[in-house]
């Protein structure tokens, strides 16, 4: 039996059994690992020819376990919030996700070709169902940290595989066939989004394992260069100021930045240099001119169908009629692609979702800046920095690339929603207070606390005095 098949069988069994014995979070985590690595596409030659729903098994186990735990049929501490904290509720990010999901459904319902839109609707439906289930089962800061690490390491695995193909066989797999159904642009952007995840995990990890994240960031950087995706490269460069702003170890970051620049200069070949040079020559570059043409087409399509658009991925069947150079040409902009497929209203809901995630994640990061610098707080703030920086890469890349719906940004939407929910439910405050009280040198008596203005953090609980005879304590 092949090692790939053995790994898939073992991990799927862990997702099913672990969801019921250790909580639905295990199934959710393995599902998202599958969604990043995409083993059903990449290892299809090693897996059974009969299509087997590996990610479906992980998702269904998480769904069933969540229903059982939420109905109270079986209780387990690991499946709920940290003891002594409130269960996190829903917030604006959750509602923004549901609003966008509703408009996706409307776009499918009124699509010019429901047959064309059906498969894309199923992909979106899977995204939103898993987010809802995860919001009901991921309720601890430690779980958010583990999920972020799983996403980063899964992305790093893809980057290492891309580098292995290149150094071992001189084969640029992203240029030839892409990765797991994504073309070089989509795969390059997914790999680029993993770079800040690895950096912030390194920044807040105290064990020696943190160096694995640094090595992973280097592998991801080189794999982005190998993708020849200008959109992914520009996105990484555009995110550097954001990464520096949210970094909690700026001096170390400056040193790493020098090494990072030297690494890029040494590893960037003639092909990469030519790709960057073509950016400055966009007026004569055929690819750039094609993008400008499709952008204008996307605007015209959205103006003609402003409410629900042509339907999910239906616009590409008509772009040639609007002046594209070939049948099936996509818009080459995530935003205008959404506008053409779901109308200006659908684009508005998507932008509102992004704005909500950025705003609330930043507010959590800012409002905890004077809290005691405990391990949990450093991790929570690193999660916030990782989300914002990684999604910045996604948003910049979305200007130039038509990305379909790979799941990494939606996984970050989930983590952002739960991070803000835990902040509002005071789950983060309780843990930080307990850790700080065990480390008095970290404790800040005047640290601000959560809205709506509960009692401030105190140094310690008042000692219990003995009761007087005949009296009460």
> Nearest 5°: CA angle at 58, between 142 and 350?
70
What pTM was computed for the model? 0.88
Say whether both 147 and 33 belong to one domain.
no
What are residue 179's phi and psi, to 5 degrees? -145, 115
Residue 4 lies in a domain: yes
Domain presence at residue 449: no
Residue numbers of the domain that contains 35: 1-79
Give domain status of residue 101, yes or no.
yes
Mean pLDDT of the chain: 84
- Same domain for 108 and 68, yes or no, is no
Q: Is 448 within a domain?
A: no
Q: pLDDT band for position 465 (50/70/90)?
A: very low
Considering the domain boundaries, does residue 450 fall inside one?
Answer: no
pLDDT category of residue 453 using cuts at 50, 70 and 90: very low
Is there a contact between 40 and 34 (Cβ–Cβ < 8 Å)? Answer: yes
Average pLDDT of the residues in 401-427? 89
Question: pLDDT-based confidence at 349, cuts 50/70/90?
Answer: very high
pLDDT reported for residue 285: 55
243 and 323 both lie in a single domain:
yes
For 213-255, the pLDDT digits (tens) are 999 999 999 999 888 888 898 999 999 999 999 998 888 888 8
> Does residue 438 fall inside a structural domain?
no
Assess contact for 121 and 185: CB atoms under 8 A: no
Residue 397 placed within a domain: yes
Chain segment 80-134, per-residue pLDDT in tens = 777 777 788 899 999 999 999 999 999 999 999 999 999 899 989 989 999 999 8
Cis amide bond preceding 445, omega within 30: no
Q: Does residue 107 sit in the same domain as residue 245? A: yes
Tell me, yes or no, whether 119 and 264 share the same domain: yes
**Is residue 398 within 8 Å of residue 331, measured between CB atoms?**
no
Quick one: 59 and 187 in the same domain? no
pLDDT band at 460 (very low <50, low <70, confident <90, very high): very low
Examine the domain organization and report whether 38 and 105 are in the same domain.
Answer: no
**Number of domains making up the chain:** 2
Is the pLDDT assigned to residue 297 strictly greater than 90? yes
What pLDDT digit, counting tens, does each position of 26-84 carry? 999 999 999 998 887 777 777 765 456 778 888 899 999 888 887 777 766 566 777 77
Within this chain, do residues 88 and 71 fall inside the same structural domain, yes or no? Answer: no
Q: Could you say which of 54, 79, 104 is where a domain stops? A: 79
Residues 340 and 282 reside in one and the same domain:
yes
Q: Which tens digit of pLDDT belongs to each residue from 374-391?
A: 899 999 999 999 999 999
**What's the pLDDT band for 180 if we cut at 50, 70, 90?**
confident
Q: Is residue 454 part of a domain?
A: no
């Amino acid at each position: 039996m092949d090692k790939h098949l053995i790994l898939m069988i073992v991990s799927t069994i862990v997702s099913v059994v672990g969801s019921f014995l250790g909580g639905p979070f295990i199934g959710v985590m393995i599902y998202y690992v599958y969604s990043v690595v995409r083993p059903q596409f990449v290892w299809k030659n090693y897996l059974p020819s009969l299509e087997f729903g590996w990610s479906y098994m992980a998702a269904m186990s998480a769904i069933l376990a969540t229903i059982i735990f939420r109905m109270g049929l079986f209780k387990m501490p690991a499946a709920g919030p940290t003891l002594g904290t409130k269960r996190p509720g829903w917030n604006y990010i959750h509602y923004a996700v549901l609003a966008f999901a509703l408009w996706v459904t409307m776009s499918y319902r009124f699509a010019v070709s429901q047959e064309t839109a059906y498969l894309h609707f199923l992909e979106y439906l899977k995204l939103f169902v898993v987010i809802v289930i995860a919001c009901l089962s991921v309720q601890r800061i430690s779980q958010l940290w583990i999920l972020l690490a799983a996403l980063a390491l899964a992305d790093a695995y893809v980057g290492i595989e891309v580098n292995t193909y290149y150094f071992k066989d001189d084969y640029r797999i992203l240029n030839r066939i892409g990765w797991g159904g994504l073309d070089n642009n989509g795969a390059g952007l997914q790999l680029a989004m993993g770079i800040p995840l690895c950096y912030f995990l390194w920044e807040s990890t105290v064990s020696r394992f943190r160096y694995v994240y640094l090595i992973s960031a280097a592998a991801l950087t080189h794999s982005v260069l190998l993708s020849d995706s200008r959109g992914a490269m520009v996105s990484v460069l555009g995110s550097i100021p954001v990464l520096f702003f949210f970094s909690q170890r700026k001096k170390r970051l400056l040193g790493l930045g020098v090494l990072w620049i030297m690494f890029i200069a040494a590893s960037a070949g003639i092909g990469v240099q030519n790709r960057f040079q073509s950016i400055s020559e966009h007026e004569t570059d055929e690819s750039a001119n094609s993008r400008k043409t499709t952008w204008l087409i996307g605007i015209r399509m959205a103006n003609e169908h402003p409410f629900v658009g042509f339907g999910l991925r239906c616009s590409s069947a008509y772009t040639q009629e609007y002046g594209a150079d070939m049948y099936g040409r996509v818009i080459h902009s995530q935003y205008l692609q959404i506008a053409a497929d779901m109308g200006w209203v659908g684009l508005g809901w998507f932008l509102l979702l992004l704005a909500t995630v950025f705003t609330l994640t930043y507010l959590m990061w800012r409002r905890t800046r004077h809290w005691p610098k405990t391990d949990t707080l450093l991790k929570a703030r690193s999660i916030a920095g990782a989300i914002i920086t990684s999604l910045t890469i996604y948003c910049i890349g979305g200007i130039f690339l038509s990305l379909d719906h790979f799941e990494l940004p939606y996984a970050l939407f989930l983590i952002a929603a739960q991070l803000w929910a835990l902040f509002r439910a005071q789950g983060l405050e309780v843990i930080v207070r307990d850790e700080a009280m065990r480390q008095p040198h970290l404790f800040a008596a005047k640290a601000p606390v959560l809205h709506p203005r509960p009692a401030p953090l105190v140094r310690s609980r008042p000692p219990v005095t003995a009761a007087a005879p005949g009296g009460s304590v």
